Amino acid sequence: MTTDSALQVKVKFSHIVITFIASIIITAQSSINSELNIYTENPLITALINFTTGLIVLALMMIFSRAIRKGFTSIPRLVREGKLKRWQLIGGLSGAFFVASQSSLVQVVGVAIFTVAAVAGQTSAALLVDKSGIGPAGKQPVTLMRVGAAILGIVGVLVSVLGQDSTGQFAFGAVLISFAAGALVSTQPALNGQIANQTGQPAAATLVNFIVGFLTLVVVYGIKQQISPQGFNVPPMPWENPIIWLGGPFGVLFVLTAAFMAKTLGVFLFTLTSVVGQLSGAILMDVLFPTATTNITWQLLLGISITGAAVVLASGKKKTRRH
């Protein structure tokens, strides 16, 4: 019994480490997409490139893996049998909105502010996700500690914003959109986790996510072109600048991790671990790949620290009875 418990703790810790690393990588995606957007000058095209390259990676995975093909092709049957609901297949909608927002807003507020606002949205919305039970772990209680952590996370965002513009012209609109993008994307691991749980293949869930996201962006782009046409520039090819084409593959890695961990860690613990990883990567990205608006102030560091404290608070566990 002791060996089994030790093994369970070890596996869970390894899952936390994997989630942490994947979350740092997804923060790097913000800088990559911001750089790509400088070339395309069109956030929707940047997002479409992300989803296209992600689909290529996933298509190759499916070609070489019979298990992934079997899991993906079983989805229509699972829907007919009622084991999967149609609305559980739309996790890619939030991903599409997140990537499109990320591509344009990082240049406005910087990687760190975008990340802090997004993770505050994720932390807050994760409470509702757990409460509604849309994830594979089922309904989870909303405790005072979790509510307090969500509020503390929002305070961290506000403190971070205070030091970003000495002229007093705060980009509150951009920050709010970043927050909303994070809130919406918190549903993604829950919905994709349901698909992964039923098919037994996180990669199949990730493929559905990218297909839905891609189709959504195509429709939105088509409508936007009819209302207000906007051109775009063709970015350097992968052999000319491979870095700017890594956003899609990084997204695949993160969504794949999320689809798997939603069941093993639960949506809320996954979100918390992801928050820590994104916060850790945010400052690193602003230092290594600064944008025109990068401005690392003491308020920013304090705000990130407060948000980090919120994560610690929310991760507190109730004492369990011994049987």
Tally of domains in the chain? 1
Nearest-angstrom CA–CA distance, 100 and 94: 10
C-alpha torsion angle, residues 263, 266, 271, 276 (rounded to 10):
-100
Nearest-angstrom CA–CA distance, 209 and 94: 9
The pLDDT, as a whole number, for residue 4 is: 43
The pLDDT, as a whole number, for residue 153 is: 73
Tokens standing for 267? 């949506």
Name, in order, each residue with C-beta under 8 angstroms of 185's C-beta and a sequence gap of 6 or more: 94, 95, 97, 98, 118, 121, 122
Give CA separation, 106 vs 69, 77, 174, 254, in Å: 36, 41, 9, 19
In a domain, 274, yes or no: yes
The pLDDT, as a whole number, for residue 7 is: 41
The pLDDT, as a whole number, for residue 215 is: 93
pLDDT in tens, the chain (323 residues): 444 444 444 447 788 888 888 888 887 887 788 888 889 888 889 889 999 999 999 999 999 999 999 999 999 999 998 888 888 888 888 878 887 777 677 767 776 677 777 877 877 787 777 777 676 655 666 778 777 877 887 787 677 666 655 433 457 788 888 888 888 888 888 888 889 888 888 899 999 999 998 998 899 888 888 888 888 888 999 899 999 999 999 989 988 888 888 777 777 778 777 777 777 777 777 777 665 555 667 777 787 788 777 767 766 554 444 44
In a domain, 158, yes or no: yes
In a domain, 121, yes or no: yes
The pLDDT, as a whole number, for residue 218 is: 92
Burial (CB count within 10 angstroms: exposed 0-12, middle 13-18, buried 19+), residue 118: buried
Residue/partner pairs of 72-81 with CB below 8 Å, 24 or more apart: 72/199, 72/201, 72/204, 72/207, 72/208, 74/199, 74/204, 75/195, 75/199, 75/204, 75/208, 78/198, 78/199
**Which is nearest to 257 in space by CA: 17, 5, 2?**
17
Q: Which residue has the tokens 């906007």?
A: 230
Instruction: Tell me the one-letter amino acid at 304.
Output: I
In a domain, 46, yes or no: yes
Domain range spanning residue 104? 14-235+242-314
In a domain, 2, yes or no: no
The pLDDT, as a whole number, for residue 9 is: 43
In a domain, 5, yes or no: no
In a domain, 138, yes or no: yes
